Amino acid sequence: MAGVSKLDLKRLRRVGIGAFFRPSQLEPLGIPYDELRRLVRLGTVERLGRGLYRLADAEPGEHYTLAAVCARVPESIVCLLSALSVHEIGTQLPHETWLAIPHKADRPRVPGFKVRLIRFSGAAWSYGIQRTAFEGVPAQITSPARTIVDCFRFERLIGREAALEALHDGLRGRKVSTDALMRVLDVLPSRRLRAALESMPP
């Protein structure tokens, strides 16, 4: 890329770099690792840890923590309580970031952040997953309907009350429909959620 040596924060953003990023994101843009090191020396970019960098003037936004964690664990999926919070379903305020990783994946290290890991495999890894971005960082998240189904599938982790609240609030706020929940249940069954739906008034 011409003029890489003169890159500033505005130019980094112009080529698609979010608040947090990994060196591998710079390579396709023609920005060599030596340039990244120069930007760190200048204070334009901060190194937060192994493989994770931050634009120096990035202001902490609503999803600052999610952005940092997803930048560090790019193959993860935001799920359960963290996904509920993003979708604005219920009142849960998680004190840790809930992430799903592949069943056989090594446990990632995310120093400085509290992360709760769940392992998905098969259809659970691919069905009802949406692409999104936090603070410019590409990420994946379970859809609203998938998230509510997961709350019942993992009820032992989040609690019965939280799962029921997610269901009722999601339906009441029209974030999900019964049909959408049933479609997810056809792929990822949950007897607890089916029972809860059957017990609800028509």
Would you say residue 2 lies in a domain?
Answer: no
Q: Are residues 21 and 68 in the same domain?
A: no
pLDDT tens string 184-193: 999 999 999 9
Domain match, 131 and 87 both: yes
Q: Are residues 80 and 15 in the same domain?
A: no
Q: Could you please report the per-residue DSSP string of 96-117?
A: SEEEEEETTPPPPP-TTS-EEE
Task: Give CA–CA dist 51/34, Å, rounded.
Answer: 14
**Does 177 lie in the same domain as 116?**
yes
Residue 54 has pLDDT above 50, yes or no: yes
Domain count, the chain: 2
Whether 100 and 33 map to the same domain: the answer is no
Residue 41 CB neighbour total at 10 angstroms: 9
Q: Are 35 and 126 found together in one domain? A: no
Q: pTM for the complete prediction?
A: 0.81
* Cβ atoms within 10 Å of 10's Cβ, excluding its own: 8
Q: Report the distance separating Cα 118 and Cα 154, nearest Å.
A: 9
Are both 39 and 75 inside the same structural domain?
A: no
7 near 34, Cβ under 8 Å?
no
Tell me: do 110 and 131 sit in the same domain: yes
Same domain, 49 and 72: no
127: containing domain:
64-199
Give per-residue pLDDT as tens, 138-158.
899 999 999 999 999 999 999
- Domain match, 79 and 14 both: no
